[in-house]
């Protein structure tokens, strides 16, 4: 049996930039074992003073928009500029094995082989918005390991991309042109959350269609009121293949960072995100404690069949179970 690493070993390895130790630490924070959860919590606390110096970028878009190809090209550009890049690629979860299906390391072969990059595919599980329940912790560990830019790739436009927006500094929405009505298939709420839209695959015969799409999206964005940060989302176009538009995209993100830090919104946003992390953590801990309770488990075994048969309201049973849990 392999000996469990100590907090000191994990901490030293991560601060030294050891990618193997970093990967093992993320596995630790993703674990549901009670002993791992406690160790992971202590490790995150130890590394907290060494985090927070990176820029966190969420990247989303409909399936087929080319997120992984974009991230590989964009990450390679950032590395050429002297940045260290971590990619937290949240894959769809297999309902059978509960593991990642797509395996982003195989889709970002060039980037994953670079020592200045770190790619971590994680299963999304049942979390809404295509983001792993432990993405916040993984970001913090990557920051402590010295990565300057954290890219969070989501499964796609899901039920709650607010989860992604709520943990990053900049939210980039990738779009496609030439797929019929440019505003079909994309939710207004997600466009409102985006800090920038990037029309991908704008190369070859698709350039003209991309230009038309850019005008359509710009016109649509003008109808949205400015957010709390007073930032007006811009529409860019480019290609992950030809690399066109990628430098402009990074320039826009740097401009955004400068303006948000100057206005004070940057730290205000991060402070609010930390409070959201607290709320989510409390709900998660309560949920785990609830389902571990022996009385709850016994009652559920008895009453579950009645719910299945439509004889008992799930709402009524949930209330009774919750009351019983807090009384015990």
Residue 28 contacts residue 141 (beta carbons within 8 Å)? no
Distances (CA, A) of 283 to 270, 286, 298, 327: 20, 5, 22, 18
pLDDT for res 161: 66
Q: What is the mean pLDDT of residues 272-293?
A: 90
pLDDT bucket at 133, cuts 50 / 70 / 90: low
Domain with CATH 3.40.50.300 in the chain: 51-263
Q: What is the pLDDT of residues 242-280, one digit of tens each?
A: 999 999 999 999 999 999 999 999 999 999 999 999 998
Write the DSSP symbol of residue 93.
B
- The pLDDT of residue 59: 92
Q: In Å, how far are 56, 135, 145, 196 from 53, measured between CA atoms? A: 9, 17, 11, 22
H or E segment and range at residue 61:
strand 55-61
Residue 138, pLDDT score: 94
The pLDDT of residue 132 is above 80: no
Task: Render pLDDT for 40-57 as a digit per residue (tens, 0 to 9).
Answer: 999 999 999 999 999 999
- Show the DSSP H helices in 222-292 as ranges: 246-263, 265-292
Q: Which fold has domain 51-263?
A: Rossmann fold (3.40.50)
* Residue closest to 248 by CA, chosen among 265, 266, 234, 229: 234
pLDDT one-digit tens code per residue, 182-202? 444 455 667 888 999 999 999
The 3-state DSSP class for residue 179 equals coil
Note the pLDDT tens digit of each residue in 73-86.
Answer: 999 999 999 999 99
Please report the pLDDT score of residue 216 as a whole number: 86
Read off the pTM. Answer: 0.88
């Amino acid at each position: 049996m392999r000996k469990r690493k100590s907090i000191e070993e994990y901490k030293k390895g991560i601060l030294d930039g050891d990618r193997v130790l970093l990967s093992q630490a993320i596995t630790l924070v993703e674990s549901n074992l009670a002993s791992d959860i406690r160790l992971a919590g202590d490790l995150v606390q130890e590394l907290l003073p060494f985090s927070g110096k990176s820029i966190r970028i969420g990247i989303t878009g409909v399936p087929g928009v080319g997120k992984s190809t974009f991230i590989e090209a964009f990450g390679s550009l950032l590395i050429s500029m002297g940045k260290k890049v971590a990619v937290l690629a949240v894959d769809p979860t297999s309902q059978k094995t509960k593991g990642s299906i797509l395996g982003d390391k195989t889709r970002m072969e060039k980037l994953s082989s670079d020592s200045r990059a770190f790619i971590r595919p994680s299963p999304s599980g049942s979390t809404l918005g295509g983001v792993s329940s432990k993405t916040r912790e993984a970001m913090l560990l990557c920051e402590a390991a010295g990565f300057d830019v954290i890219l969070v790739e989501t499964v796609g436009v899901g039920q709650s991309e607010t989860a992604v927006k709520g943990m990053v500094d900049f939210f980039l929405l990738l779009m496609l042109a030439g797929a019929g009505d440019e505003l079909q298939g994309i939710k207004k709420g997600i466009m409102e959350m985006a800090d920038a839209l990037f029309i991908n695959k704008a190369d070859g015969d698709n350039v003209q269609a991309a230009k038309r799409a850019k005008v359509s999206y710009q016109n649509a964005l003008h109808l949205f009121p400015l957010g709390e940060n007073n930032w007006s989302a811009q529409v860019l176009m480019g290609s992950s293949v030809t690399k066109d538009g990628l430098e402009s995209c990074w320039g826009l993100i740097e401009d955004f960072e400068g303006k948000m830090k100057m206005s004070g919104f940057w730290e205000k946003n991060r402070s609010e995100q930390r409070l959201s992390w607290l709320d989510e953590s409390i709900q998660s801990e309560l949920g785990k404690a609830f389902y571990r309770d022996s009385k709850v488990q016994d009652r559920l075994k008895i009453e579950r069949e009645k719910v299945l048969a439509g004889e008992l309201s799930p709402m009524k049973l949930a209330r009774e179970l919750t009351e019983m849990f807090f009384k015990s």
